[in-house]
Amino acid sequence: MATNKREYIAPVAIHPGVMLSEWLEEREMTGREFALRSGKPEKTISKILNGKSRITDDTAESFSIVTGIPSNYLLRFQAEYDVAIARQSNVNPMENLWDTFGCLFPYSEMCKAGWIDKKETKVEKMYCLLSFFGLTTHEAFEMTYSHQMFGVSFRQVGRSKRTEFGVAAWVRQGQIIADMMSTEREFSVAKAMGEIDNFKSALMAHDLPLLISLCSNVGIKLVFVENIPKASTSGAAYWQGRTPIIQLSGKGRSLDKLAFNFFHELGHIIYKHAKKGFLLDDMEEDSIEKHEMEANEFASNHLYKGLKEFSTKPTLQEIKEEGRRLGLSPCVVLGHLTHSGLITYPEANTRYKSLQCPLEIDFKKLLPKNPYL
């Protein structure tokens, strides 16, 4: 039965001169003494020991007499080294880069999401990844993404399976979408604050295209990018030049989470927390960082403004009436009461389940028209 097993190729080819150097070191013998004993020019010995010359039949016989190492072993070692070097010289550098760097990205999931084209070979995949990130080298990735995002603002959640490479891909897709968008005017904190009620109304109506338009009117680009494995991020806030960007994934698939995440990221923009990098948030994480506390406070103050403080567990009708009074969906009121601890999560999923508002986002319909097509 035929198999397609690939022969192992050592990542580093070792010249037989290395082995001989170790043999000499163990016996405290100099290269000059070895040359005298083997009857070969000292220059020839130096080149072999430094991996710059091959071991021939003649030198193998002489070395065998001095070292006791069989000449056929030395010649086989040399032959294996020659083959390894030949193979490595035929390997495209991009193939090696894929093995050490490209494979760390969730490539298959990115293809399924339609972010990049599906490729078969390692070289094609690597070029595709670099093109996706708009980079020419993986070193540029370290400077552009790892340094700016993960060295400053990225926080790994213990229960999350996200990786810096998955999150970088998710953020990059948001940047690509943002590049296809324009805003009606330059960002203005005053104008953004003046649209708070309209932002809230659009969210309660599940009208995400309207929310995107309202953000554009105050100079903010709002993009929606679906989560993929190894990303698992609720939202991000960052700037491209003088334009702030809010990126949301819809993680949690509920209106109350989306609404809070939007106002949380808006808080980062209003306070200009993300001017020098990326701020990534996950509502499963209890953060005590100043920026996170400020963004959480901003979201609570504006999303739940005027919300009644219940001293006992409210009835379904009381939650509905409170939501109606404030122009909030009952599920948003329920989400706040659950997060504050007045209502437990098991209760929210049983007694108050009828108030929950599952949310499905059609990410493709929210994509802007590509101006370059």
- Give 117-186 as a 3 state SS string: CCCCCHHHHHHHHHHHHCCCCHHHHHHHHHHHHHCCCCCCCCCCCCCHHHHHHHHHHHHHHHHCCCCCCC
Percentage of the residues of the chain whose pLDDT score is greater than 90: 46
In whole angstroms, give the CA distance from residue 132 to residue 141: 11
H or E element, residue 98: helix 93-100
| pLDDT tops 70 at residue 9 | no
Whether the pLDDT of residue 84 is over 50: the answer is yes
Supply the pLDDT for residue 273: 77
Does residue 161 surpass a pLDDT of 70? no
Map out the domains of the chain as residue ranges.
16-89, 93-130, 134-355
- Of the pLDDT bands very low, low, confident and very high (cuts 50, 70, 90), residue 176 is very high
Cα–Cα nearest to 157, from 230, 211, 213: 230
pTM over 0.85: no
Average pLDDT of the chain, as a whole number: 84
Which amino acid makes up residue 259?
A
What is the rounded distance in angstroms from the CA atom of residue 33 to the CA atom of residue 24? 10
CA distance 53 to 331: 76
- Could you tell me the maximum CA-CA distance found in the chain, to the nearest angstrom? 101
Task: Tell which wins on pLDDT, 147 or 335.
Answer: 335
Q: How far apart are CA 28 and CA 116, in angstroms?
A: 58
What confidence score (pLDDT) does residue 339 get?
87
Is the pLDDT higher at 252 or at 352?
352
Structural tokens at position 342? 């007045």
For the segment 290-319, the average pLDDT, to the nearest whole number, is 90
What pLDDT shows up at residue 4? 42
Structure tokens at 27: 């016996």
Does pLDDT of 199 surpass 50?
yes
pLDDT at 79: 77
Please report the beta strands in 179-294, taking only residues with DSSP state E, as ranges in sequence order: 221-224, 235-240, 243-248, 279-281
> What pLDDT was estimated at residue 208?
96
**CB contact set of 129 (below 8 Å; sequence gap of 6+):** 102, 105, 107, 116
Query: pLDDT, tens digit, for every residue of 246-296?
Result: 999 988 889 999 999 999 999 999 988 766 666 666 544 444 478 888 989
Q: What is the pLDDT of residue 245?
A: 94
Q: What is the mean pLDDT of residues 14-40?
A: 92
At 46 the pLDDT is: 94
Highest mean pLDDT among 67-76, 95-104, 173-182: 173-182
- Check if the beta carbon of residue 138 is closer than 8 Å to that of residue 200: no
At residue 363, does pLDDT exceed 80? Answer: yes
What is the rounded distance in angstroms from the CA atom of residue 280 to the CA atom of residue 341? 25
Query: What are the pLDDT digits (tens) for 202-246?
Result: 999 999 999 999 999 999 999 999 999 888 888 999 988 889 999
Q: Would you identify the CATH topology of the domain 16-89?
A: 434 Repressor (Amino-terminal Domain) (1.10.260)
β-sheet with 221-224: strand ranges across:
221-224, 243-248, 235-240, 279-281
Question: For position 357, what pLDDT does the model report?
Answer: 85
Q: Looking at residues 181-200, what average pLDDT do you find? A: 94
| Per-residue pLDDT at 174 | 94
If one compares 275 and 312, the residue with the highest pLDDT of the two is: 312
| Predicted confidence band of residue 320 (pLDDT cuts 50, 70, 90) | very high
CB atoms within 10 A of CB 243: 16
> How large is the average pLDDT for residues 76-82?
80
Q: Which residue bears the tokens 């999350």?
A: 160
Half-sphere exposure of 334 (CA within 13 A, CB side): 26
**Inter-residue contact 366 to 208 (CB < 8 Å):** yes
Q: What is the pLDDT of residue 142?
A: 74
